[in-house]
């Protein structure tokens, strides 16, 4: 049997290399975070929802608003919230002034779960970024913000 010889890689433009590096880094960081929250029975998306709702207290958020604030887009926010409501982490209530709007709020159980995850998540972030000086972290954050906020052409 004859082995295929891999084709030599063509050098990618710098922008392409950076794009791939950012995606690979984001994937590695998010996999590590998923492991931490999975230990408490959550997905990364559920953890993100709980953090959004904690910040929206006491008013809560409509489903659309939660979706807009999510770090990663979730195409089925309603089903995600259904699962969280069944676990007692959130409550949902249809608004009397506009029956189309359903407000979601975090429950005491959801707040307690977030409290339990605070230290492990903080330790993870220290492990992921602690080797970088504060000035470099700030520069990295600013650069990534510039890339995100660039208006599409």
Flag whether 27 is in a domain: no
Flag whether 60 is in a domain: yes
| pLDDT over threshold 90, residue 91 | yes
Flag whether 19 is in a domain: no
Backbone angles phi, psi at 93, to 5 degrees: -145, 125
Structural domain total, the chain: 1
Flag whether 56 is in a domain: yes
pLDDT for the residue numbered 7:
61
Flag whether 49 is in a domain: yes
Flag whether 21 is in a domain: no
Q: 103: which strand partners? A: 62, 93
Least confident of 52-56, 126-130, 148-152: 148-152
Mean pLDDT value of segment 85-95 = 93
Q: For residue 138, what is the domain's CATH number?
A: 1.10.10.10
**How confident is the prediction for the chain on average, in pLDDT?**
91
The reported pTM is 0.84
């Amino acid at each position: 049997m004859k082995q295929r010889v891999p084709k030599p890689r063509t050098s990618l433009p710098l922008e392409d290399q950076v794009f791939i590096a950012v995606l690979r880094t984001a994937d590695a960081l998010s996999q590590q975070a998923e492991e931490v929250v999975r230990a408490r029975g959550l997905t990364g998306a559920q953890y993100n929802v709980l953090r959004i709702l904690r910040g929206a207290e006491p008013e809560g958020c409509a489903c659309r608003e939660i979706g807009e604030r999510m770090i990663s887009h979730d195409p089925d926010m309603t089903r995600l919230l259904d699962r969280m409501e069944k676990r007692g982490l959130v409550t949902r209530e249809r608004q009397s002034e506009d029956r189309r709007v359903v407000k979601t709020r975090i429950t005491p159980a959801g707040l307690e779960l977030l409290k339990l995850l605070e230290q492990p998540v903080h330790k993870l972030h220290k492990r992921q970024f602690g080797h970088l000086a504060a000035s470099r972290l700030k520069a990295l954050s600013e650069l990534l913000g510039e890339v995100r906020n660039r208006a599409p052409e």
